[in-house]
Structure 1
Amino acid sequence: MAKENQISLDIFLKEGNERKKIQENRFKLTKEHLDRVRHIEGFPIAKDEDIISLSDPPYYTACPNPFIRDFIKEHGKPYDPDNDAYRRQPFAADVSEGKNDPIYNAHSYHTKVPHRAIMRYILHYTEPGDIVFDGFCGTGMTGVAASLCGDRRTVESLGYRVLDDATILDEKGRPFSKLGARKAILIDLSPAATFIAYNYNTPVDVRAFEREARRILDEVERECGWMYLTQHVVDGKVQKDAKGNPIMGKINYTVWSDVFICPSCSRELVFWEVAVDKEEGRVRDEFPCPHCGANLTKRTLERATERVYDREIGEFIIRARQVPVLINYSVGNKRYEKKPDGYDLELIRKIEEIEIPYWYPTDRMPEGYNTEQPKVSHGFTHFHHFYTKRSLACLAVLWNCFRFRNRKITSRLLYSFTSLYQRVTKMAEYRKGGGSGNIPNFYIPSFNREPNVYEVCKRKLRNIITALIAMSLCHSQNTISTQSAGQLHQIKSSSTDYIFTDPPFGGNIMYSEMNFLWEAWLRVFTNNKPEAVENKAQGKGPREYQELMEKCFAECYRILKPGRWMTVVFHNSQNRIWNAIQEAILRAGFVIADVRTLDKKQGTFKQVTSTTAVKQDLVISAYKPNGGLEKRFHLEAGTEEGVWDFVRTHLKHLPVFVEKNGRAEVIAERQNFLLYDRMVAFHVQRGVAVPMGAAEFYAGLKQRFPERDGMYFLPDQVVEYDKKRLTVQEIEQLSLFVTDEKSSIQWLRSELSKKPQTYQEIHPKFLRELHKAPHEKLPELSELLEQNFLKDDNGRWYVPDPGRQSDLEKMREKALLKEFAEYKEGRGRLKVFRTEALRAGFKACWAAKDYKTIIEVARRIPDTVLQEDTTLLMYYDNALMRLEE
């Protein structure tokens, strides 16, 4: 029997190992795989062997992932329109999740949304096992959030309650989700981003990693420790031990200062010595030249330079002169500071002369927007110029020790290495009182802080181990791909269940430039041709940025199942970028259902109504209409029934009741003017004439849908709203930004809905709220009242009923079109104009299919105005598209 068992065990092991080999071969990344995806947009710039070396297939590839289709086939749920019962309202609750979390802080990146905040969205919109997509994944926080949706303790830490059957209850005890990991597809154009995301989203033996990391750090300290020794000095005297040998301290960091030239006497000045108030720890605005006494400011100084031979590139270079001015060191557990002495300067000279025996990058800096400053100010043209020779030597030792280990251990070690980022470069600013400032955009400060590299790595390692333990709570294997989100050939249409993404916004951050320092070490670089940014060096302006974003959102629309949701986080203070993002989302086919702002002081999301007043981060909730609406609209397009079919469908997707601190919020999207705007956009984006004007729409809305507190509902929704409305004391009104004629009318309508008011009563309030744009030809308040409202016998203005409103609308539109005709017949640039006249004229031209006039007039107004007005931009973009067809 034992013998038979042994034979069975041998067969079992043999067959298992054979299957394992087949699986390993199946997912081994080869040059043949690369050839199959090389045509996909965003394929990185690198040698094939470096891409293969960095990758860990099938879950992560440093190129377009050829195994994504297998991932979806294994984990996805095919879309079945006949049996699809999915229904969700937009996530409209407040979110307050700070950044003080070990997972969040394990590795820096230029922008990150805390994974705990993303978890709330994923739990709301998905079920366990659903596939979540992020096309601009950055460090992969969406994947971390998807995985941790399966960890009970983490979910409960969000303030939710988990029942024994895995049902999740919200803060008010209502069931809304199920406990269980979701699967994530994470994509980014940057190899640095996807490498970091892979390490965040892949399990590892934490203890094995810790042992290996500490062993290597000890090795590096033995090899490089001599570079960070300094003589202990007290009152100018070198301290000695009992044997008469100098007492040596370990350097914590060295401060380096720029050197300038006095414009009066042409002698060199060490900026640290002449400009810093050592007691107060600040830089003086004015200071005297120690040589000639001339009164100086930093702006009046000329930078001192030096000509040195750069053996890495084999030529002489001119660089800004910097000198060490302060050393912070430790003897035992006590810290000291001193000015560099002869020993220290000789040590630095010796290190400068050595030839580093290990590989390190020497790539030339890319031409770009951010990379110009260090080139111009300090002569930094290549990678190695951003490091002192000492830091570079120590990093080279670390990198080469980290490279040759078990794949997953190696990846985690390199992840730890890249987490050091700017703090080990000359971009780390010295700050009195401890710490260093990580300056973005390749800015080289006048005082930089050169740390003890392996000590920094030790400290960072502790944080990473804490994060890895937290991440090991629940690891659902996700899949990661390095490519453009504008070409997702590996993902089938209607195959993903939810999208959460934080895309780039205009010229906020040049990711391909900022990631250069990481990618030079990884030896795989971003292909920035499809990078969605505004960047003069890349030849990309607002139009190119919007087109690239449209392409990405169109792919998001294609791969998302009908009726499902996309959440977009937006960080930019420019209205034109906000409008470009909205336009890109709408042109892709999505319908925006909710917009909230992130209050940075409070850390919460609040509702926003003005689409032209962007001052904080925004969270956009948009849905892909289900196939039923699209099919019906195709038959009903341009008809009154098509309008009301859209409105009914849209109302289904809006939140019914939102409460905060015992007060009900007015839901902006349920107001008549925003419902009208969404309806118009839905028609125009699909190339269809809008069959009715605003007044006719408002009247029809009043007839067909119940209204509460200025909002419109479906019959079953209003029952729910009325019940919940009884539970609160009052309703919180929305604040409107009065910048142009349209927002002025909205503000007046809101104000006069409260009670009829005379001109004298309303005039001072109106002036307080008015912030007119410079180009806007805004009618007088009296004219706005006469064209849009009615006056009673007591001289009080009030909101007319829908029947009278229609007559007023026709009179007003006639006046607006008359003014538009003057613009149309004129020549030259329009500097001051009535934006409402342009909107009315564009609408009329669209109905008449006069696309040429829309384009000609649009090109005569300032481009900033066009980019910052969602309605004008919508008509212009779609008119361009129609003419090109």
Structure 2
Amino acid sequence: MTDYKLTEERLDAVRKVEGFPRGKDKDIIALSDPPYYTACPNPWIGEFIEKHGRPFDPEEKYDCEPFAADVSEGKNDPIYNAHSYHTKVPHKAIMRYILHYTKPGDIVFDGFCGTGMTGVAAQMCGNPDAEFKEKVEREMPDVVWGARRAILCDLSPAATFIAYNYNNPVDPAAFEREAKAILAEVEKECGWMYETDHVVDGKVQVRKDVDGTTTPVKGRINYTVWSDVFVCPSCSEEIVFWEAAVDHANGKVRDEFPCPHCGATTTKRSLERAWEYVHDEALRETVRRAKQVPVLINYSVGKKRFEKVPDAADLDLLDRIEMKAIPYWYPTDELPDGYNTEQPKKSHGVTHVHQFYTKRNLWVLASFISKAFDRRLEPELFLLSSLHLHVNRMRRYQPVKPGGTPGLPGTLYISAISVELPIFDVYPRKLRDVKKAFDNRSNGNVIVNTCSGSSLPHIPDCSIDYIFTDPPFGGNLMYSELNFLWEAWLRVFTNNQSEAIVNDVQHKALPEYQALMEQCFAENYRILKPGRWMTVEFHNSQNKVWMAIQQALTRAGFVIADVRVLDKKQGTFKQVTTTSAVKQDLIISAYKPNGGLEEQFKLTAGTEEGVWDFVRQHLKHLPVAPEKDGVLQYVPERQKHLLYDRMVAFHVQRGIIVPISAPDFYFGLYQRFPERDGMYFLPDQVPRYEQKRLVADRVEQMSLFVHDEKSAIQWLRQHLTAAPKTYQEIQPAFMIESRNTDKHESLPELGDLLEQNFLKDKDGRWYVPDPNKESDLEKIREKALLKEFAAYLATSGKLKTFRTEAVRAGFKQCWSERDYATIIRTGDRLPASILQEDDVLLMYYDNARTRQGQTEHGRGTGRQVALEL
């Protein structure tokens, strides 16, 4: 019988695995529940795969197109709502991908699992609700229901703890009994902290007892509003922000307001903060903190709600609580330096974890957590983590919602007016939410692992059937900083050395982020079975981060086949308030080339035979005839120039010379593969496409925006395919379309574009040439581009405006000649933002640096050997 006890000896065996968390061994062991969850690298994953997985069989038939439908799934689901997280994909959206790419019993992997929705989705494939099942069967008639198994991994112990509880079988009735019992205990002990005298018209209401004495009528506090205090720059008197800035009649916070003492008009930005010095019991020292005062209490007597300004009795209660020592352990960890941690430090003097809570909320939370740890109740800790964001000082007051809303997503921001929500108020509601989630969840097999996705030593090569993952989005969210508070309560922290983010404090810029993502994707590539798929959900408003993700994927060995939209029906804070933000998440479908292609490519690499082997495999992996609402959708990846780009990338990422020019590739494509509506297919795919085309209401037209030379040529091609046109007919529309050309782009004149890419008939009308003549034009154009690139090499200094197509052509020629130094020198002359946002230029530049480094290392090694001899 296997021993599933996590011991210090087992910890020693995995301690050097990348991403091993920070914390004491006893705390890591206490938090874990082996074999299905460890708060460290999980040594039982290999056993899990051996028991449940199927070894890769090259003879097994697996033929699957990318899931090419746009997915829209809302968040109004008991499972989704049970626990919040910084980013989260609805499990019903993930279920569609799992159902498409896998069969029952397959193993799914997620290396950035967050709250574990991929695991929930894998299990729910065996137990869908009736409405969802009916909906999916209409859209996916060949769907095969049945639970899949999942391996979940995340660097954050907070994330893996939540993921484990989402996926671990729980008896909902027993959980509810225990949770209510703990609630009753803590209320009995601490309920007095949230009592207030019931006041009507300034008088404390009393009730007569049986013995004739009177006692004040007590109300139960629903929430308390706290306000920052500032100092007027004109008169130096203190201003309570709540009293001066909030327009209670109209329900808004004024931008400008008069000082109540001197009448001077002021703004929050112009005010100085009032500070106070207090003794911090936990730190045993005097600390400086922003001055805050309670300004409003909302409370209930029976079923009626009332409001009052805190009176002397309320202030006395707060003083009594401050004077008492909390009889339970609570975290006092100092906040690390970071992007998100600076705001609370600078604005409110919050430097340690315990300072994020009012004294009474800290006391009550410590009591709950102590009882949960004592009873080994992980579901209770899960419940407490789900309500945590509601009960700290980051909860914000909003005039339209006086009870407050959780802190700004993706920040540790403490606002000028915060709301103290008693745990007793939110606990029963979150208990209902969590119980519903436990009621709705299937009891499948999921194993959870805490380590970096860049090092997965316990997962064998070619053992995973499908990967769905939602990686960090550059510098959007600082997960280790945002999870620090809850991890302090769990006593196990993220090891952020391998955290894949853009963060100045961690000295990680975009290249470091891309390198870390590449390491993670390389591990994904290693463990995924050949010919299988990985789906990457991605959101970022910066194109350069999107390029970095694509580059990391292709450098790891994956081939991108499709990009779609996942609409989560709710914007994050940054999505809503940033006009340049992408409102919807992108879904990247990438595949690991099957072993046959890789083995054949080793034999034919650098030959035309290898080129066409790749193209055949890639066409096989592309959607054939995706349809939406009766419209046959265009598949951009089937265009000739994108097929060429993917072929080139496949060679370059493997360090191989591209053996064919663009003109010869396009002509060879025309000779070997049938073309329909500007897209190329395998011969056996054409009948299916044509059948769908016959019954479709219409065929989608590709939407084009002219921003550079390549898109200008595509626009002209589309414009002239319908009918030949004269220069005069083309020019007005082209002028309009080309108004938003990239600033750095030296776009050729319209006449030059037409001369180099199209032919003119005897009536002076330009038309799309047939492939034979088009190949000749491409050669003429390529020669002109290389001539222009040579002109760039003859100059010095930064290239501010240039013809991007010329630089791409030049980089390709340099690569074929192994002239990596010229690629690097020229790349360094380009604006950094352009290099980072152009996938072709970035591909050549990154790979040239890698090859140049290898060459220099080889020379260095040779010199060292010579010296030793």
CA separation of 1:768/1:221 partners in 2, compared to 1, >3 Å: closer, same or farther?
farther
Give the 5 Å matches for 1:120-519. Answer: 120-151=96-127, 153-154=128-129, 157-160=132-135, 170-171=137-138, 174-175=141-142, 177-243=143-209, 244-405=214-375, 407=376, 410-434=377-401, 435-438=403-406, 439-440=408-409, 441-471=411-441, 474-519=442-487
The answer to whether the Cα contact below 8 Å between 2:255 and 2:267 also exists between their aligned partners in 1 is yes
Aligned alpha-carbon RMSD (Å):
1.6
Residue type of the alignment partner of 1:704: R
1:32 equivalent in alignment to 2:32: no
Q: What's the CA shift string for 1:682-709, capped at 9, x where partnerless?
A: 1111111112222222221111111111
Residue type of the alignment partner of 1:880: R
- Measure how far apart 1:160 and its partner are: 5.0
What is the DSSP-based 3-state SS (H/G/I as helix, E as strand, rest coil) of the residue aligned with 1:678?
Answer: helix
Residue 813 of structure 2 is aligned with which of 836, 840, 844? Answer: 844
Q: Which residue of 1 aligns with 2:762?
A: 793
Q: Which residue of 1 aligns with 2:576?
A: none
The answer to whether the Cα contact below 8 Å between 1:578 and 1:614 also exists between their aligned partners in 2 is no
Within 2, Cα distance between the matches of 1:602 and 1:224?
Answer: 37
The answer to whether the Cα contact below 8 Å between 1:557 and 1:589 also exists between their aligned partners in 2 is yes
- Measure how far apart 1:764 and its partner are: 3.2
Within 1, Cα distance between the matches of 2:268 and 2:581?
Answer: 37
What is the DSSP-based 3-state SS (H/G/I as helix, E as strand, rest coil) of the residue aligned with 1:793?
Answer: coil
- Measure how far apart 1:816 and its partner are: 1.7
CA separation of 1:750/1:251 partners in 2, compared to 1, >3 Å: closer, same or farther?
same
Within 2, Cα distance between the matches of 1:694 and 1:450?
Answer: 65
What is the DSSP-based 3-state SS (H/G/I as helix, E as strand, rest coil) of the residue aligned with 2:429?
Answer: helix
Aligned length: 838
Q: Which residue of 2 aligns with 1:821?
A: 790
What is the DSSP-based 3-state SS (H/G/I as helix, E as strand, rest coil) of the residue aligned with 2:346?
Answer: helix
Residue type of the alignment partner of 1:399: I
Residue 60 of structure 1 is aligned with which of 21, 37, 45? Answer: 37
Within 1, Cα distance between the matches of 2:650 and 2:271?
Answer: 58
1:107 equivalent in alignment to 2:107: no
The answer to whether the Cα contact below 8 Å between 2:75 and 2:569 also exists between their aligned partners in 1 is no
Q: After the TM superposition, which of the residue ranges 725-734 and 539-548 deviates more from structure 2?
A: 725-734
Residue type of the alignment partner of 1:867: Q
The answer to whether the Cα contact below 8 Å between 1:421 and 1:517 also exists between their aligned partners in 2 is no
Q: Which residue of 1 aligns with 2:589?
A: 621
Residue 737 of structure 2 is aligned with which of 769, 790, 807? Answer: 769
The answer to whether the Cα contact below 8 Å between 1:573 and 1:616 also exists between their aligned partners in 2 is no
Residue type of the alignment partner of 2:756: Q
What is the DSSP-based 3-state SS (H/G/I as helix, E as strand, rest coil) of the residue aligned with 2:46?
Answer: helix
The answer to whether the Cα contact below 8 Å between 2:73 and 2:567 also exists between their aligned partners in 1 is no
- Measure how far apart 1:277 and its partner are: 0.5
Within 2, Cα distance between the matches of 1:524 and 1:712?
Answer: 53
CA separation of 1:173/1:322 partners in 2, compared to 1, >3 Å: closer, same or farther?
closer
Gaps of 5+ in 2: 572-579, 855-869
Q: After the TM superposition, which of the residue ranges 754-763 and 842-851 deviates more from structure 2?
A: 754-763
Q: Which residue of 1 aligns with 2:830?
A: 861
The answer to whether the Cα contact below 8 Å between 1:572 and 1:616 also exists between their aligned partners in 2 is no
- Measure how far apart 1:198 and its partner are: 0.4
Residue 740 of structure 1 is aligned with which of 698, 703, 708? Answer: 708
Within 2, Cα distance between the matches of 1:271 and 1:613?
Answer: 32
What is the DSSP-based 3-state SS (H/G/I as helix, E as strand, rest coil) of the residue aligned with 1:241?
Answer: strand
Within 1, Cα distance between the matches of 2:731 and 2:268?
Answer: 50
Gaps of 5+ in 1: 1-21, 162-169, 604-611
Q: Which residue of 2 aligns with 1:166?
A: none
What is the DSSP-based 3-state SS (H/G/I as helix, E as strand, rest coil) of the residue aligned with 2:325?
Answer: coil
- Measure how far apart 1:598 and its partner are: 3.0
What is the DSSP-based 3-state SS (H/G/I as helix, E as strand, rest coil) of the residue aligned with 1:187?
Answer: strand
The answer to whether the Cα contact below 8 Å between 2:85 and 2:114 also exists between their aligned partners in 1 is yes
- Measure how far apart 1:780 and its partner are: 2.4
The answer to whether the Cα contact below 8 Å between 2:329 and 2:366 also exists between their aligned partners in 1 is yes
Within 1, Cα distance between the matches of 2:657 and 2:842?
Answer: 17
CA separation of 1:602/1:190 partners in 2, compared to 1, >3 Å: closer, same or farther?
closer
With the length of structure 2 as denominator, give the TM-score of the two structures.
0.94
Within 1, Cα distance between the matches of 2:841 and 2:240?
Answer: 55
Residue type of the alignment partner of 2:389: Q
Residue type of the alignment partner of 1:870: D
The answer to whether the Cα contact below 8 Å between 1:593 and 1:669 also exists between their aligned partners in 2 is yes
The answer to whether the Cα contact below 8 Å between 2:74 and 2:568 also exists between their aligned partners in 1 is no
What is the DSSP-based 3-state SS (H/G/I as helix, E as strand, rest coil) of the residue aligned with 1:204?
Answer: coil
Within 1, Cα distance between the matches of 2:709 and 2:399?
Answer: 52
The answer to whether the Cα contact below 8 Å between 2:70 and 2:566 also exists between their aligned partners in 1 is no
- Measure how far apart 1:599 and its partner are: 4.4
What is the DSSP-based 3-state SS (H/G/I as helix, E as strand, rest coil) of the residue aligned with 2:766?
Answer: strand
What is the DSSP-based 3-state SS (H/G/I as helix, E as strand, rest coil) of the residue aligned with 1:779?
Answer: coil
Residue type of the alignment partner of 2:160: T
Within 1, Cα distance between the matches of 2:585 and 2:635?
Answer: 19
Q: After the TM superposition, which of the residue ranges 457-466 and 846-855 deviates more from structure 2?
A: 457-466
- Measure how far apart 1:155 and its partner are: 6.8
Q: Which residue of 2 aligns with 1:606?
A: none
Residue type of the alignment partner of 2:200: V
Q: Which residue of 1 aligns with 2:20?
A: 43
- Measure how far apart 1:760 and its partner are: 3.1
Residue type of the alignment partner of 2:678: G
What is the DSSP-based 3-state SS (H/G/I as helix, E as strand, rest coil) of the residue aligned with 1:57?
Answer: coil
Q: What's the CA shift string for 1:188-228, capped at 9, x where partnerless?
A: 00000000000001001111111111011011111111110
What is the DSSP-based 3-state SS (H/G/I as helix, E as strand, rest coil) of the residue aligned with 1:300?
Answer: coil
Within 1, Cα distance between the matches of 2:199 and 2:729?
Answer: 77
What is the DSSP-based 3-state SS (H/G/I as helix, E as strand, rest coil) of the residue aligned with 2:215?
Answer: coil
1:805 equivalent in alignment to 2:774: yes
- Measure how far apart 1:766 and its partner are: 2.7
Within 1, Cα distance between the matches of 2:594 and 2:787?
Answer: 40
What is the DSSP-based 3-state SS (H/G/I as helix, E as strand, rest coil) of the residue aligned with 1:299?
Answer: coil
Within 2, Cα distance between the matches of 1:214 and 1:464?
Answer: 13
CA separation of 1:760/1:303 partners in 2, compared to 1, >3 Å: closer, same or farther?
farther
- Measure how far apart 1:312 and its partner are: 1.2
Within 1, Cα distance between the matches of 2:765 and 2:306?
Answer: 77
Residue type of the alignment partner of 2:758: F
Q: Which residue of 2 aligns with 1:89?
A: 65
- Measure how far apart 1:600 and its partner are: 5.7
Residue type of the alignment partner of 2:767: Y
Within 1, Cα distance between the matches of 2:582 and 2:759?
Answer: 33
Within 2, Cα distance between the matches of 1:285 and 1:328?
Answer: 26
Q: After the TM superposition, which of the residue ranges 138-147 and 747-756 deviates more from structure 2?
A: 747-756
Within 1, Cα distance between the matches of 2:153 and 2:130?
Answer: 25
Within 1, Cα distance between the matches of 2:12 and 2:388?
Answer: 32
Within 2, Cα distance between the matches of 1:121 and 1:715?
Answer: 27
The answer to whether the Cα contact below 8 Å between 2:35 and 2:447 also exists between their aligned partners in 1 is yes
Q: Which residue of 2 aligns with 1:5?
A: none
Within 1, Cα distance between the matches of 2:112 and 2:537?
Answer: 11
Residue 703 of structure 1 is aligned with which of 659, 671, 693? Answer: 671
Q: After the TM superposition, which of the residue ranges 492-501 and 807-816 deviates more from structure 2?
A: 807-816
